[in-house]
Amino acid sequence: MPDENASPLELAVDLDAEREREQQYVTMLYTRLDNLRRYADERLRRVLLESGGTPQARSERESFNQMYTDDLAKYDAAENGLCFGRIDLDDESRHIGRVGILDEENDYETLLLDWRAPLARPFYLATPAAPEGVNRRRHIRSRSRTVTAVNDEFLDLDAARAAGVVTGSDGVAGESALLAALNAARTGHMNDIVETIQAEQDAVIRSDHKSVLVVQGGPGTGKTAVALHRAAYLLYTYRKQLEKSGVLIIGPNATFLDYIGQVLPSLGETGVLLSTIGDLYPGVRATREDSLEAGRVKGSLAMIEVLTQAVRDRQELPGRPVRLEFDNYELTLDRKVVTRARGRARSSRRPHNLARPIFVSSVIEALAQQLADTMGANVVDGGSLLSRDDIADIRDEMRQDPAIMAAVGALWPELSPQEVLLDLWAQPARLEAAAGNLLDPDTRALLARTGPGFSAADAPLLDELAELLGIDDTAEQERAQRRWRQQIADAQGALDILTGSAPQDLEDELDPEILMAYDLVDASQLARRQDAHQRRSTAERAAADRTWTYGHVIVDEAQELSEMAWRMLMRRIPNRWMTLVGDTAQTGDLAGTSAWQTVLGPYVAQRWKLTELTVNYRTPSEIMELAHRVLDEIDPEQSVPRSIRESGFAPWASEVPAGERVSAVRAVLDGETGPGTVAVLIPGPLVAEFADLASETVQVSTVREAKGLEFDSVVIVEPRDIVEESPRGLNDLYVALTRATQRLGMVHTRPLPEALGAVPGASPTAS
C-alpha cells in the first residue's frame, strides 16, 4: 500500500553527469527551436514581399502572415526555460516544455511535450501515493540556454534503487524548484508558474467543467496564477472554438492588469482581452472615483428600477399644448395626443430608441388627422373629407418638416447611455424623478455629481442603460448591406478575370480533372475570406463591441464584483462557461459578495462548482499567524490556507509619536537594501502625506490599489485607520497583511486594532 502522506523523495544522483546529459538534450532542442524560428521567419518575409494578385491569393497571404507571426511570438516566448522538466515512465522518458517540438526527420516523434498536452499531465500530478506511472520526475533549471541544475524526485523508491540511481535513503536533494521560485525576489511583474504547478492547481487549470467553476482560496494560494494558466490551457485545448469568440479576463484594477500582463505572452498567448469592469463598456474609461457608499448604491440591484424610471422620465408629456404651424394651418400637440402615442410606444415593449419610431408615427398620424379634420371642417357645405391617400401624403410631408419633427422628437428623444447617466447624476430633479420612491434623499445626495467622466461603478449602469435604450442601427445595417453587396461584386469580378484567363487549349476540351479557382470558391465565399483578413484581431473586435459574446470568461478577485457588474458580465457570456477566482474573506468593495450562491444563483441556479485551493505559496507562516487572527474576526468559519514556508522574519509593529510617521517609514525603506519590491500601504486620507516615498521599487498606495499584488516587504501605516475606514475594513487589513513574500511591519500612532493582538515591538531595521 502506498503511503498517502509520503512526499516524493528528492534523492541525490550523479548530478553533474545528469546535468551534462540534459544540457546535450536541451542544446539539441534549442537547435530545433532555432530552425523552426528561421523557417517561420523566412516564410513570413516571403509573404510580406509578395504583393498584388487575386483576392484569394491576398487573403491566403494574410492568413499565412498571421500564422507565421503567431509562431514567431510563440517561439520567442519559449526561449527562456524552453524545457523545464522530464518524467521517466517504465518504458519512456518525456521532456516537458513551453512548446511542443516534433522530430520531423523521425516519424514526427515528440522531442518536447507542450506542458498543456494530456501526456504532460503526470508531471504535475504524480505523487508517491498515486505515481501515475511516473518513476522519476525531474526539474531542469536553466539560465539562458545553459542548464544550471537538475532536481530529481523519485516516486517509486524501489524502482530507483533497482536502477541503481539512489545513493542512500537520506540523500535528499537541495532546495526544490518550487521553493526556489517562491523565495526569489519580486520584480513588480508576475511570472508564470508553468514549471511548478501543483496538483490541486492543475486540477483547476485542466478542469473540464463546462459551466461556472468557482475557485475559492485564501491569499497567495495561486488563484491568479491558476486563472491565467487556465486561459492558456483552454486556448490550447479548445483553440478552434475560442480563437473566434475570444477569452475575456477581468481583473480588479489597471495596476493589477499591468502586474499580470506578461504572464500570458510568456506562455505564447496574446489573443486574450484583459479588462477591468470599469473599462468594459466600449469607448468609456473609468476616470473618476466613487465614495465607498456611492459605489455600494450604484452596485445594488435597486439601480435597475432607477434606470428604468430615468429612461421613462425622458418620455415626456408637454406641460402645455404645443402650437405648430403646417401649410398655414395651426395644429396643437396636446397631452392627450402625446399620452396616447406614448402608451402605444411603451406597450410595444421595445427599448426606448427602438420604440421611438412608434411614438413618432402615432403623433404624426394624430396631427395629420387633426389637419384633415380642420380642412374638412373648412369645406363649405360639409364637402368631402380627404381620402386615405391624401392623409398618407400629409403624413409624409409632415415627416419632412423640421419644425414638426423637432417638436415631436423632443418629447421622446433619441438618447445615449452616457447622456442619460450624466444627466441623472448632475440634475437632482431628474434623480428625484427616477429614484424618488427608491432611494432616500441622503442616498440620492451620495450619487449627485457634476462634470464629465465616469467611475468604475458607472460602467455596469451604462451597460444596463444600453439595454434599456437599444441602439437604432438601421442606418448602419443598411450601410453594411451595401458594403457587402459591393464586396461580392468585386469578388465576382476577380473570379471572372480568372475564368477569362483560363488557358485556351483547355477551353475546347475542358479537362474535368483540372480544378479552376471558380470550382473551388464562389463570389460570396471569396468576399467572406476577403472580409476576414481585413478584420482586427478577435480581442480588438470584442473590446469594441458591447454585444460581443465570449467563448470563456475568467474573473479574478471575483468577490469584488457588484450585482450590477455581474449582470453586465453575464450578458457577455450566454453559455455561462466561466472560471471565477476569489476569496470572500478579502472582499473590500461594499457592493462585493460574501457568498457565491447569492451572486451566481440568479444566473445558473445550483449549476456551479466550487473548488478550493488550500496552500499559501506567498505569505510566510510568521505573517500568516498574524493574518489568521484577523481572519478569525472576519469569519471564524473560513478555512485557513496553509503556508508552505517560513521566511525567518517576524512581523513587527512600531508605535511612533505623531509627526514622525513618515520619517519612521523612510527609515524602514532605507534599511531595505536588497533586491525586490516594497509596498507602503496607507489609509486613503494619508496618500498625499506619504506620496514622496514612492520610487521605482516602492509602491505607496491604499490597500485597494494593492489588491492581488505582492511585494518582498510591506509596511502598513495606521492599521486602525484602515479598519475604521470602511465597514469592510477588517477585510482590507487582511488583504494588506497578506501581500508580503518576506517581511511585514506596521508603523502607527494610534493603538493597533484589537484583532491583531500583541505584535512584537520595533522594526528590526530601526533597532
Q: Which spans of this chain sit near ligand ATP (rule: CB under 6 A)?
A: 178, 181-182, 190-191, 193, 196-198, 201, 217, 219-225, 583, 586, 617-618, 708, 710, 738
- Is the Cα torsion angle 747, 749, 753, 757 positive or negative in sign? positive
Q: How far apart are CA 364 and CA 394, in angstroms?
A: 9
Parallel, antiparallel, or unpaired: how do β-strands 578-582 and 608-613 relate? unpaired
Task: Please name the helix (run of DSSP H) or strand (run of DSSP E) that holds residue 543, with its range, or none.
Answer: helix 538-544
Nearest Cα to Cα of residue 267 among 228, 221, 226: 228
Q: How far, in Å, CA of 156 to CA of 154, rounded?
A: 5
- Paired residues of 96 in beta bridges: 85, 113
Cβ 614 to ligand ATP shortest distance, Å: 11
CB nearer to ligand ATP: pick between 191 and 443: 191
Q: Please check whether residue 591 is in contact with residue 563, taking contact to mean a CB–CB distance below 8 angstroms.
A: yes
Q: How far is the CB of 354 from ligand ATP (least distance, A)?
A: 43
3-state secondary structure 471-540: CCCHHHHHHHHHHHHHHHHHHHHHHHHHHHCCCHHHHHCCCCCCCCHHHHCCHHHHHHHHHHHHCCCHHH
**Rounded-to-integer distance, Cα 515 and Cα 521, Å:** 11
Is 224 within any annotated ligand binding site?
Answer: yes
Between 365 and 622, CB nearer to ligand ATP: 622
Alpha carbons 517 and 404: distance in angstroms, whole number? 56
Pick between residue 180 and residue 516 the one whose CB is nearest to ligand ATP: 180
Closer by beta carbon to ligand ATP, 56 or else 616 = 616
222 is in an annotated binding site: yes
- Minimal distance in Å, beta carbon 702 to ligand ATP? 15
8 A C-beta contact, residue 712 and residue 679: no
218 is in an annotated binding site: yes
CA 107 to centroid of chain Cα atoms: 41
Q: Which is nearer to ligand ATP, 465 or 709 (CB)?
A: 709
Local structure of 66: helix, strand or coil: helix
C-beta of 33: minimal distance to ligand ATP in Å?
24
* Cβ 482 to ligand ATP shortest distance, Å: 50
The reply to whether 110 sits in an annotated binding site is no
- Please check if 221 is assigned to a binding site: yes
Phi/psi at 209 (nearest 5 deg)? -60, 130
Shortest Cβ 468–ligand ATP spacing (Å): 35
Question: 2 phi and psi, to 5 degrees?
Answer: -65, 145
Distance of closest approach, residue 230 Cβ to ligand ATP, in angstroms:
12
CA dihedral (697, 701, 704, 709) in degrees, to 10, reads 10
Smallest gap from Cβ 708 to ligand ATP, in A, equals 4
Rounded to the nearest whole angstrom, what is the least distance from the CB of residue 205 to ligand ATP in the complex? 10
Q: In angstroms, how far is CA 329 from the centroid of its own chain?
A: 60
Nearest to 361 by CA among 412, 395, 394, 318: 395
Return the closest-CA partner of residue 341 out of 313, 363, 312, 311. Answer: 363
Which residues are documented as binding site? 217-224
Which residues are documented as binding site for ATP? 217-224
